[in-house]
Amino acid sequence: MSGFRRFLLRGSLVDLAVAVVIGTAFATVVTALVKDIITPLIAAIGGQPNFETLTFTVNHSKFSYGDFINALISFVVVAAVVYFLVVTPVGRLLDMLTRKQAAIERDCPACLGTIPIAARKCMYCTTDLTPPATTAVP
């Protein structure tokens, strides 16, 4: 039973559960945004007040494509929000951290381990190193 308890309380499982709950709530908000604001705006321009009722018939078979249009608009809105509010800021943050790390670290030419930029000897393979020309050595 303790193994099952450890499984349930692992960080990744708890994080996943939180992500699912927040994602579900976010999807509800986006669906309401599309249904109550974006669809009426498109309807004001295009003249169709409700996409849910859009259908066509082929050989006495009725195809409802209005819900698909609403779902497609929801997907595009979710993708845009995730890109502009999550992916772009995280990418910028990672770029800043990488730039900062590059300024204080370099790779050892012998073992390719990451070492401080002013190191005279590699801490991994003990190769004697010359500091880079751009760094002043005391």
- Residues 124 and 112 sit within 8 Å (Cβ to Cβ): no
- Residues 115 and 123 sit within 8 Å (Cβ to Cβ): yes
Three-class DSSP category at 32: helix
Q: Among all chains, which residue has been given the structure tokens 């995280």?
A: 90
Q: What percent of the chain has pLDDT over 70?
A: 90
- Bridge partners, 93 (sequence order): none
Q: Where are the alpha helices (DSSP H) in 1-138?
A: 2-8, 11-33, 39-46, 66-82, 88-104
Q: pLDDT of 81-102, one tens digit each?
A: 778 888 898 889 888 877 776 6
pTM for this prediction: 0.52
* Residue 121 DSSP one-character state: B
Domains of the chain and any CATH numbers = 2-107 (1.10.1200.120), 108-138 (no CATH)
Q: pLDDT of 58-83, one tens digit each?
A: 999 988 888 888 788 878 887 887 78
